[in-house]
């Protein structure tokens, strides 16, 4: 068993094929951008931070053995490949932010550095640095979110509900919302964790449950349809989820089903947190309605592990994400820079995203 989604050393990238979890732990080599794009599209690797990391590192392994005849050639090659990588899945912003940053970096290096080999190596170093940065951001936001939650709830042992998978498997390690839970658990502040199945793709029952069991965190799986009853009867203290994109007014796109959990939390007076590294924040969009929501193939809804469960002939709608309005994010938005009310986000993160 391994919780490491991405294994990388210079020139060699492997991902844990999450389609096979929890039954098999199989790593697959990613030899370049096309492999990276296919793995992201097929959701062998998923979760907003991991998508960006695998995208960038797939480019790193592709360009390492290459030599470029001019600076323009490096610039154009890198910009084209990064642009392509952003097309695999449209909702998570991290890969788009990474593509923007890396494209600008190459341009900047081009104007300062004389040989193409140095530009290439500097770029690879930057992409490699994303792995450590993601891990340290996760650890910081995990601690900050946990401290905030303990203080707001005012209990020593918490019952926490989460949705989808936001753990080690969705990041370079530790996790975002699951990072908050991991930190609480490490400090002995977890009474119980509830994770939803997260239909239709079951990231909760396949992946989050796998991580919770692996870590020996007391936990229980519930179907998505049980959330309101769970809140009414089981004493849930707080909800924490991740995000694929938080926009400047605090509206948040996350795994389908997040919105209804936030509504239920508000009804029951339970604080609702969104935990993200600042790489998941998109200050260029004002409102959640501006976010493109990915729609996935009908088969992900009509079948389970390849077995058809839906009546033949039925039409399907399969949006992969929904948008939770900022006013339902009552606990706060947890980042590596602190925990903020959605209305404070823009000011608090000015110059930091």
Look up residue 34 and give its DSSP letter. H
Q: What is the Rg, in whole angstroms, of the alpha carbon atoms belonging to the chain?
A: 20
Would residue 132 show up in a list of annotated catalytic residues for this protein?
no
Tally the residues of the chain: 353
Q: What is the contact mask toward ligand MRU in residues 191 to 230, using x (rule: CB under 6 A)?
A: ------------x---------------------------
Contact between 301 and 316 (Cβ < 8 Å): yes
Look up residue 310 and give its DSSP letter. S
- Strands, E assignment, 209-337: 219-222, 238-241, 245-247, 252-255, 272-275, 281-282, 303-304, 307-308, 321-324, 332-335
Q: Is 271 in the site for ligand MRU (CB under 6 A)?
A: no
Q: Is 172 in the site for ligand MRU (CB under 6 A)?
A: no
- Of the residues 35, 134, 137, 244, only one is catalytic, namely 244
Q: Is 242 in the site for ligand MRU (CB under 6 A)?
A: yes
Among the listed ranges 106-114, 181-189, 236-244, 334-342, the one in contact with ligand MRU (CB under 6 A) is 236-244
Q: Is 164 in the site for ligand MRU (CB under 6 A)?
A: yes
| Shortest reach from residue 5's CB to ligand MRU, in Å | 10
Contact between 151 and 125 (Cβ < 8 Å): no
Q: What is the contact mask toward ligand MRU in residues 89 to 128, using x (rule: CB under 6 A)?
A: ---x------------------------------------
3-state secondary structure of 263: helix
Which two three-digit tokens encode residue 241?
């989820």
Q: What is the contact mask toward ligand MRU in residues 284 to 323, using x (rule: CB under 6 A)?
A: ------------------------------------x---
In the bound state with ligand MRU, the residue whose beta carbon lies nearer, of 32 and 257, is: 257
Which two three-digit tokens encode residue 83?
């642009």
| Shortest reach from residue 15's CB to ligand MRU, in Å | 13
- Give the count of beta carbons closer than 10 Å to the beta carbon of residue 225: 12
Which two three-digit tokens encode residue 81?
């490949």
Residue from the set 58, 116, 168, 176 that interacts with ligand MRU by CB under 6 A? 176
Among the listed ranges 99-107, 140-148, 209-217, 240-248, the one in contact with ligand MRU (CB under 6 A) is 240-248
In the bound state with ligand MRU, the residue whose beta carbon lies nearer, of 92 and 264, is: 92
Which two three-digit tokens encode residue 48?
């907003």
Q: Are strands 332-335 and 338-340 parallel, antiparallel or unpaired?
A: antiparallel
**How many angstroms separate the CA atoms of 127 and 106, rounded?**
12
Subset of residues 40 to 69 that bind ligand MRU, contact rule: CB under 6 A: 46-49
In the bound state with ligand MRU, the residue whose beta carbon lies nearer, of 165 and 185, is: 165
Distance of CA 335 to the CA centre of its chain: 13
Among the listed ranges 8-16, 58-66, 166-174, 335-343, the one in contact with ligand MRU (CB under 6 A) is 166-174
Residue from the set 254, 324, 330, 353 that interacts with ligand MRU by CB under 6 A? 254
In the bound state with ligand MRU, the residue whose beta carbon lies nearer, of 102 and 274, is: 274
Closest CA to 281 of 146, 173, 141, 148: 141
3-state secondary structure of 15: strand
**How many angstroms separate the CA atoms of 281 and 298, rounded?**
29
Which two three-digit tokens encode residue 64?
């390492």
Binding interface with ligand MRU (CB under 6 A): 46-49, 92, 164, 166, 170-171, 176, 203, 242-244, 254-255, 320
- Residues annotated as catalytic are 244
């Amino acid at each position: 068993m391994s919780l490491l989604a991405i294994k990388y050393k210079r020139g060699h990238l492997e991902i844990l094929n999450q389609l096979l979890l929890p039954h098999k732990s199989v790593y697959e080599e990613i030899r370049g951008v096309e492999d990276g794009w296919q793995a992201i599209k097929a959701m062998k690797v998923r979760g907003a931070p991991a998508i960006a990391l695998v995208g960038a590192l797939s480019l790193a392994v592709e360009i390492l053995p290459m030599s470029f005849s001019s600076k323009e050639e490096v610039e154009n090659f890198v910009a084209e490949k990064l642009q392509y990588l952003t097309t695999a899945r449209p909702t998570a912003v991290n890969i788009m932010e990474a593509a923007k940053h890396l494209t600008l970096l190459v341009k900047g290096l081009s104007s300062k550095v004389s040989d193409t080999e140095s530009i290439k190596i500097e770029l690879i170093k930057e992409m490699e640095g994303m792995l450590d940065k993601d891990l340290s951001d996760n650890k910081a936001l995990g601690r900050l979110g946990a401290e905030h939650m303990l203080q707001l709830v005012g209990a020593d042992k918490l019952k926490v509900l989460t949705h989808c998978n936001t753990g080690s498997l969705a990041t370079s390690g530790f996790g975002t919302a699951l990072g908050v839970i991991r930190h609480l658990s490490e400090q002995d502040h977890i009474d119980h964790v509830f994770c939803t199945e997260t239909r239709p793709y079951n990231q909760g029952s396949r992946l989050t449950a796998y991580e919770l069991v692996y870590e020996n965190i007391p936990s229980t799986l519930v179907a998505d349809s049980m959330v309101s009853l769970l809140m009414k009867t089981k004493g849930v203290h707080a909800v924490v989820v991740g995000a694929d994109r938080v926009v400047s007014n605090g509206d948040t796109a996350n795994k389908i089903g997040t919105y209804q959990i936030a509504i239920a939390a508000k009804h029951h007076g339970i604080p609702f947190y969104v935990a993200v590294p600042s790489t998941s924040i998109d200050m260029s969009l004002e409102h959640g309605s501006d976010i493109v929501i990915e729609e996935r193939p009908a088969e992900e809804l009509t079948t389970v592990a390849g077995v058809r469960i839906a009546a033949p002939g039925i039409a399907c709608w399969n949006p992969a994400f929904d948008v939770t309005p900022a006013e339902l994010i009552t606990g706060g938005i947890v980042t590596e820079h602190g925990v903020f009310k959605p209305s404070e986000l823009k000011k608090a993160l000015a110059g930091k995203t």
